[in-house]
Amino acid sequence: MMDLAAVQMIWLRDIIRFTRDRAQILGAVARPILWLLIMGVGLGASVPRVGNTPYLEFIFPGVIALNLIFASFLSAISIIWDREFGFLKEILVAPISRASIAVGKALSGTTVAVLHGAVVLAFALILRLPFTAAQIALALPVMALMAFVSTALGILIASRMTSFEGFGTIANFVIMPLFLLSGAVFPLDRVPPWLHRLARANPFTYGVDLLRGIFSGVMHYPIWMDLAVLAGCGALFVTLAVAAFKHME
């Protein structure tokens, strides 16, 4: 049972909070600076090319993925703050379905994450990467799909967490592994089999693969497989997140 007013409220609240959160906007700019400007340019000096792709261009889809995953987890984790500061009770006691709360949260996290991802796109212009408007237009829906998968996963984790040890724990044990194991910073065709297996189990590997296909024309997996894994994971995680929300007291 979906309740549009509730979905709209959850979404609007998160967008308003996002626009007032300077630290979050700063983070959206700081991460591309670290990973594109320092890591991309720095490592690119010694490893000029991956296949035929310049290193800076190679790491670019990975940095988009990083900003997407970071922002959507940050957004999903706000559920824990809401519990801490009491606002979650105000929402849980309202005459709306738990499913619409989870869906509203998934959509607001997706929106905010795509905005974070768009900041990385702006860096492409500054760094004079040779991307066309058509490539960017194609990348946006892929980014939205990846952001949805990651927000739903974040909500699932947040709704199961009873104590909060700080965002650092999640960054170290969830976000960074997902980022590093997605083929974002190094190609997956020369890594040992155990590492490759881990990367194959990571849904973001398929998102990075799609983005790299769009920006550099190089792909590891067929398009249908990338899309199927992302869509399947999105549907699975959001279903589990809704179920977890229903059993929350």
Partner 1 sequence: MPIIEVEHLVKRYGEVTAVNDVSFAVEPGELFAFLGPNGAGKTTTISILCTLLAPTSGATRVAGFDCLRQPTEVRARIGIIFQDPSLDERLTAWENLLFHAMIYHVPARERRDRIERVLAMVELSDWRHTIVKRFSGGMKRRLEIARGLLHQPTLLFLDEPTLGLDPQTRRRLWAFVARLRRESQITIFLTTHYLEEAEVCDRVAIMDHGRLVALDTPAALKARHATPAASLEDVFLHLTGHDIRDEGAMDDNPLKTVRRWNRFLR
Q: Which residues are at the interface with partner 1 (CB under 8 A)?
A: 5-6, 8-9, 12-13, 16-17, 20, 85-87, 89-97, 249
Q: Which is nearer to partner 1, 65 or 74 (CB)?
A: 74
Cβ nearer to partner 1, comparing 89 with 160? 89
Q: Compare residues 21 and 227 and give the one whose CB is closer to partner 1.
A: 21
- Six-digit token string for 245: 């929300």
Minimum gap (Å) between residue 97 Cβ and partner 1: 8
Q: Which is nearer to partner 1, 63 or 79 (CB)?
A: 79
The β-bridge partners of 54 are 49
Decide whether 8 or 52 has the Cβ nearer to partner 1: 8
CB of residue 238 vs partner 1: minimum separation in angstroms?
A: 20
Q: How far is the CB of 24 from partner 1 (least distance, A)?
A: 12
Nearest approach, Cβ of 85 to partner 1 (angstroms)? 7
- Shortest distance in whole angstroms from residue 170 CB to partner 1: 21
